[in-house]
Structure 1
Amino acid sequence: MNVYTTQPFQVVYSLFEHEYLGYLFESYVVQVNSKGQLTLQHQNISAKNADEFRARLDADDFKLIAMMDQIQQDAVLRKFSPKKKLSAADFFLKVYDPERGDKALQEAISRHMQTQMGKILELLRNGKTTFIMGKDGDPTWRQIHIAPERATVLFHFRRNADNTHYFPTVKYAGQKLEFQYKNATLICHTPAWLLLNDQVYSFEKNVDGKKLQPFLNKKFIVVPRSVEENYYSKFVAPLVEQFDVHAKGFDIRDEKYVPSPYLTFSEIAATEAPATVAGRDEAAAQEKGRILFDLSFKYGDYMVETREAKRISVSMEKTPDSYVFHKLIRDVSTEKKFLKELGKRSLEVKNGHAVLEKSEAFSWLNSNLQGLEEIGFTVQQSQRDGKNYFIGDITLDVGITEKNDWFDIYGTVRFGEFEVPFIRLKNNILTRNSEFILPNGQVAIIPEEWFTQYIELFAFAEGEEHLTLRRHHMALVNDLQNGNLATVTMSRRLEKLRGFETIEDQPMPAGFRGELRPYQKAGYNWLHFVQNYKFGGCLADDMGLGKTVQTLAMLQHRKENGAESATLLVMPTSLVYNWMNEAQKFTPSLRILNYTGTYREKNVELFSEYDVVLTSYGIVRLDAELLKTYYFDYIILDESQAIKNPDSNTSRSVRELKSRHRLILTGTPVENSTMDLWAQMSFINPGLLGSQHFFRNEFLKPIEKEKDEQKTRRLHALIKPFILRRHKSQVAKELPEKIENTTFCKMTEEQEHAYEETKSYYRNKILTNLEENGPGNTQFMLLQGLTKLRQIANHPLMTDPGYEGSSGKLKEVVHKTTDVVSKGHKVLIFSQFVKHLEIIKRSLDKREIKYTYLDGNTKNRHEQVERFQQDESIQVFLISLKAGGVGLNLTAADYVFILDPWWNPAVEAQAIDRAHRIGQQNTVFTYKFITKDTVEEKILALQNRKIRLVTDLISTDETVIKSLTKEDIDNLLS
Structure 2
Amino acid sequence: TKKHKDIARIISSNGLRVPATHSREVLAAVGNLSSFMTVHSAIALDADEISTLNGKKDLMKGVTASSQIYIQLIPLGEGFKLAMFVKPFGPKGPYLKPGQGAENVMAEVDGQRLQTRRNLVQERHKVREVEAACPTLAEVEERGREWLLQETDVCLSVLLELKTIMDKVVIEWPEGEQITVRQLASPDRLSLQVRRIKGSKGLSWFAMTGSLSIDESLVIDMKKLMELARRNSGRFLPLGNGDFLALTDEFRRRLDDFSSIADGHSRQDTGDRSLRIHPLASMAMDNIIQGIGHLETDAAWAAQLQLIREAQLLDPQVPSTLQADLRDYQIEGYKWLSRLAHWGGGACLADDMGLGKTLQALAIILEKTCNGPILIVAPTSVCMNWLQEANRFAPTLNMHLLGNRNRRKLVQSLKEFDVLVTSYTLLQQEAKLLAGIDWQVIVLDEAQAIKNMETKRSQAAMALNGRFKLLTTGTPIENHLGELWNLFNFIIPGLLGSLESFTQRFAIPIERFRDQAVRRKLKKLIRPFILRRSKAQVLEELPPRTEITLQVEMNDEEQAFYEAMRRQALENLAVDNTLFARPVKRKIAYGGSVGKNNGKVYTVKILAEIMKLRRACCNPKLVMPETDIESSKLLLFEKVVAELLENRHKALVFSQFVGHLQIIRSFLDKKKIEYRYLDGATPVKQREKEVEAFQAGQGDLFLISLKAGGLGLNLTAADYVIHMDPWWNPAVEDQASDRAHRIGQVRPVTIYRLIAKHTIEEKIVRLHQEKRDLANSLLAETEISSKLSAEELMNLILEQ
- Please give the range of the TM-score, normalised by the shorter of the 2 chains: 0.7 to 0.9
Aligned-pair CA distance for 1:885: 0.8
**Which residue of 1 is the match for residue 132 of structure 2?**
344
Match of 2:658 among 834, 842, 865: 834
Is 1:424 the equivalent of 2:212? no
| TM-superposed deviation, 1:753 | 2.0
Structure 2: how far apart are the matches of 1:237 and 1:523?
88
Partner of 1:912: 737
Q: CA shift at 1:664, angstroms?
A: 1.1
- 1:663, CA displacement in angstroms? 1.7
- d(CA) in 1 for partners of 2:538 and 2:617? 38
User: Which residue does the alignment assign to 2:46?
Assistant: none
C-alpha contact 1:903 1:939 (8 A) present in aligned 2: yes
Closer/same/farther in 2, CA of residues 592 and 329 from structure 1, 3 Å limit: farther
Identify the structure with the greater strand proportion: 1
Q: Tell me the CA shift for residue 795 of structure 1.
A: 1.2
Tell whether the 8 Å contact from 1:400 to 1:408 is kept in structure 2 after alignment.
no
Note if 1:589 corresponds to 2:396. Answer: yes
The match for 2:167 among 348, 357, 374 is: 374
Q: CA deviation at 1:603?
A: 9.6
Residues 3-14 of structure 1: matches in 2 within 5 Å? none
Looking at structure 2, the residues matched to 870 and 313 of structure 1 have their Cα atoms a distance apart, in angstroms, of: 106
In the other structure, the counterpart of 1:444 is 244
Whole-angstrom CA distance in 2 between matches of 1:331 and 1:483: 57
Partner of 1:195: none
Aligned match for 2:688, one of 865, 876, 881: 865
User: What are the superposed Cα offsets for residues 554-580 of structure 1, whole Å, 9 maximum, x if unpaired?
Assistant: 1111124xx3x4333222233222222
Contact kept in structure 2, 1:707 and 1:949, CA below 8 Å:
no
- One-letter identity of the residue aligned with 2:338: H
Query: Following TM superposition, by how much is the alpha carbon of 1:832 offset from its aligned partner in structure 2, in angstroms?
Result: 1.9
Does the residue aligned with 2:628 lie in a helix, a strand or coil? coil
Change (3 A) 1:935 1:825: same
CA contact (8 A) 1:867 1:874 kept: no
Name which of 440, 454, 460 aligns with 2:261.
460
Offset, 1:881: 1.0
Gaps of 5+ in 1: 1-107, 123-146, 152-170, 177-202, 212-234, 269-281, 317-324
Shift in alpha-carbon separation, 1:484–1:445, aligned structure 2, 3 A: closer
CA positional deviation for 1:532: 3.2
Deviations 1:4-57 (A, max 9, x none): xxxxxxxxxxxxxxxxxxxxxxxxxxxxxxxxxxxxxxxxxxxxxxxxxxxxxx
Compared CA separation, residues 525 and 391, structure 1 to 2 (3 A): closer
Give the Cα separation in 1 of the matches to 2:537 and 2:513: 32
Seen in structure 2, the aligned counterparts of structure 1 residues 118 and 304 have a Cα distance that, compared at 3 Å, is closer
Matches within 5 A, 1:79-478: 118-119=13-14, 150=19, 172=22, 237-238=35-36, 245-247=51-53, 248-249=55-56, 254=61, 256=63, 263=71, 265=73, 268=75, 282=76, 286-287=77-78, 290-293=79-82, 302=92, 304-306=94-96, 311-314=105-108, 325-327=111-113, 332-333=118-119, 339-346=127-134, 348=137, 354-356=147-149, 357-369=151-163, 371-375=164-168, 377=170, 379=171, 381-385=173-177, 389-397=179-187, 398=190, 412-417=211-216, 418-432=218-232, 436-437=238-239, 443-445=243-245, 447=247, 454-462=255-263, 464-467=272-275, 469-470=277-278, 472-473=280-281, 477=285
Change (3 A) 1:549 1:373: same
Task: Report the CA distance between 1:860 and its aligned residue.
Answer: 1.1
**Could you give the per-residue CA deviations for residues 473-509 of structure 1, whole angstroms, max 9, x where no partner exists?**
4785588589999999997997998999x98653232
State how 1:552-951 maps to structure 2 within 5 Å: 552-560=362-370, 563=371, 565-595=372-402, 597=404, 600-601=407-408, 606=413, 608=415, 611-622=418-429, 624=431, 628=435, 630-670=437-477, 673=480, 675-686=482-493, 688=495, 692=499, 715-732=522-539, 742-758=549-565, 768-773=579-584, 788-801=612-625, 803-814=627-638, 816-817=640-641, 827-846=651-670, 853-856=677-680, 858=681, 860-870=683-693, 876-891=701-716, 893-902=718-727, 904-919=729-744, 926-932=751-757, 934=759, 936=761, 943=768, 947-948=772-773, 951=776
Q: 8 Å contact 1:567–1:612 — kept in the other structure?
A: yes
Using the TM superposition, name which of 897-906 and 672-681 deviates more: 672-681
Paired residue for 1:56? none
For residues 929 and 582 of structure 1, the distance between their equivalents in structure 2, rounded to whole angstroms, comes to 34
- The 1:952/1:420 distance shift into structure 2, 3 A limit, reads closer
Quick check: 1:539–1:547 contact (8 Å CA) kept in 2? Answer: yes
**CA contact under 8 A between 2:60 and 2:115: conserved in structure 1?**
no
Whole-Å separation in 1 of the counterparts to 2:113 and 2:10: 31
* Identity rate, percent: 29
Counterpart Cα distance in 1 of 2:29 and 2:729 = 78
Q: Secondary structure at the match of 2:319?
A: coil
Return the letter of the residue paired with 2:215: G
Cα distance change of structure 1 residues 861 and 114 upon mapping to structure 2, 3 Å threshold: farther
1:958 partner amino acid: I
Aligned to 2:599: none
What does the per-residue CA deviation read over 1:645-680, in whole Å, with 9 as the maximum and x for residues that have no partner?
345444454345443322210101238835544433
Q: Is the 8 A contact 1:313 1:328 kept in 2?
A: yes
Q: In structure 1, the residue corresponding to 2:213 is in which secondary structure?
A: strand
Bigger shift: residues 709-718 or 803-812: 709-718
Which is worse superposed, 328-337 or 787-796?
Answer: 328-337
Moved more, 951-960 or 742-751: 951-960
**Greater Cα shift, 862-871 or 737-746:** 737-746
SS at match of 2:181: coil
CA distance in 2, matches of 1:292, 1:823: 77
Aligned-pair CA distance for 1:362: 2.8
Deviations along 1:376-415, whole A, 9 cap, x unmatched? 63x4653244xx7543333452578998988876664333
The farther-off stretch of 675-684 and 729-738 is 729-738
Q: Is the CA contact (8 Å cut-off) linking 1:798 and 1:836 kept in structure 2? A: yes
Structure 2's unaligned 5+ residue stretches are 42-49, 197-203, 265-271, 588-592, 596-602
Quick one: distance in 2 between partners of 1:801 and 1:674? 43
Q: Tell me if structure 1 keeps the 8 A contact 2:184–2:245.
A: no
Q: How many positions carry a matched residue from both structures? A: 729
Taking structure 1 as reference, are residues 579 and 239 closer, same or farther at Cα in structure 2, changes over 3 Å only?
A: closer
Secondary structure of 2:582's counterpart equals helix
Partner of 1:87: none
State the distance in 2 between where 1:619 and 1:534 align: 27
**In structure 2, distance between residues paired with 1:673 and 1:532:** 30
Shift of 1:553: 1.6
TM-score where L is the length of structure 2: 0.73
- What is the CA–CA distance in structure 1 between the aligned matches of 2:357 and 2:39, rounded to whole Å? 90
Q: What root-mean-square deviation, in Å, do the aligned CA atoms of Structure 1 and Structure 2 show? A: 5.3
Q: Which has the higher contact order (CA 8 A, sep 6+)?
A: 2
- Give the residue type in structure 1 aligned to 2:273: E
Quote the offset at 1:551 in angstroms.
Answer: 0.8
Cα distance in 1, alignment partners of residues 330 and 347 from structure 2:
15
Greater gyration radius? 1
Whole-angstrom CA distance in 1 between matches of 2:243 and 2:651: 72
Distance 1:402 1:414, change over 3 A: closer
Give the CA deviation at 1:817.
4.8
Contact 2:549 2:754 survives alignment (8 Å): yes
